[in-house]
């Protein structure tokens, strides 16, 4: 089963839309941090512009790990914390960075969440024009340096994370496997 958590009024083909507010896209009305679904039922989970609205991201990711099957794909789309879109919506509770989802790939966090959520791919987009080009170049040189020194001058737009749910047991073994699959994609 493929789940679109916090679907709002956007319908994605082949996905079951779940939201706490009924809409034409919502097939299951529920709090996405307490899903009425059995463990391991999802092969793919989409969180499209929703994590920034959830009060407890750790609780959400714990529920994602619970309903996801081992090896399930999780896609998280959110504004980067320097994006105007991240700040203009008063319902945004969190502002995320290039490194935010790495938190759920740590051993002690994986034990709390119930699975290691390995970031296998991530992408950051920038606007156009000279500032967008400069941002892309600085980011390509070092994402860490860009976020630490340059991000509020050369602002980004949207973050996209692709994660894989690893329920294999040993957080240490999963971490080693994750190091071999991490990829950084060129910013757009």
CATH code assigned at 107: 3.40.50.150
Please identify every stretch of the chain with a pLDDT value under 70, giving residue numbers as ranges. Answer: 169-188
From residue 75, alpha-carbon distances to 22, 31, 49, 69 in Å are 22, 19, 10, 14
User: Which pTM does this prediction carry?
Assistant: 0.87
**Residue 141 counted as domain residue:** no
Distance CA 164, CA 162 (A): 7
**Residue 138 counted as domain residue:** no
Q: Which pLDDT score, from 0 to 100, does residue 117 have? A: 95
Q: Which pLDDT score, from 0 to 100, does residue 169 have? A: 67
Number of domains in the chain: 1
**Residue 64 counted as domain residue:** yes
**Residue 149 counted as domain residue:** no
Q: pLDDT digit string (tens) for 8-63?
A: 999 999 999 999 999 999 999 999 999 999 999 999 999 999 999 999 999 999 99
Q: Which pLDDT score, from 0 to 100, does residue 108 have? A: 83
Look at residues 112, 15, 117 and name the one whose alpha carbon lies nearest to residue 73. 117
**Residue 87 counted as domain residue:** yes
Q: Are 46 and 15 in contact (CB under 8 A)?
A: yes
**Residue 135 counted as domain residue:** no
**Residue 165 counted as domain residue:** yes
Identify the domain containing residue 34 by its residue range: 2-128+158-181
**Residue 142 counted as domain residue:** no
């Amino acid at each position: 089963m493929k789940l679109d958590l916090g679907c709002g009024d956007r319908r994605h083909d082949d996905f079951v839309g779940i939201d706490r507010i009924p809409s034409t896209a919502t097939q299951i009305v529920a709090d996405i941090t307490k899903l009425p679904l059995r463990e391991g039922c999802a092969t793919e989970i989409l969180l499209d512009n929703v994590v920034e609205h959830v009060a407890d991201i750790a609780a959400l990711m714990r529920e994602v790990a619970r309903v996801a099957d081992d090896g399930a794909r999780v896609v998280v789309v959110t504004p980067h914390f320097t994006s105007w879109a991240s700040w203009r919506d008063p319902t945004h509770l969190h502002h995320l960075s290039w490194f935010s989802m790495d938190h759920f790939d740590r051993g002690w966090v994986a034990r709390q969440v119930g699975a290691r959520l390995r970031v296998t791919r991530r992408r950051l987009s920038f606007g156009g024009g000279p500032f967008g080009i400069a941002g892309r170049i600085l980011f390509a040189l070092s994402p860490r340096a860009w976020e630490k020194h340059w991000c509020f001058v050369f602002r980004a737009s949207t973050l996209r994370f692709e994660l894989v749910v690893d329920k294999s047991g040993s957080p240490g073994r999963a971490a080693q496997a994750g190091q071999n699959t991490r990829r950084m994609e060129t910013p757009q």
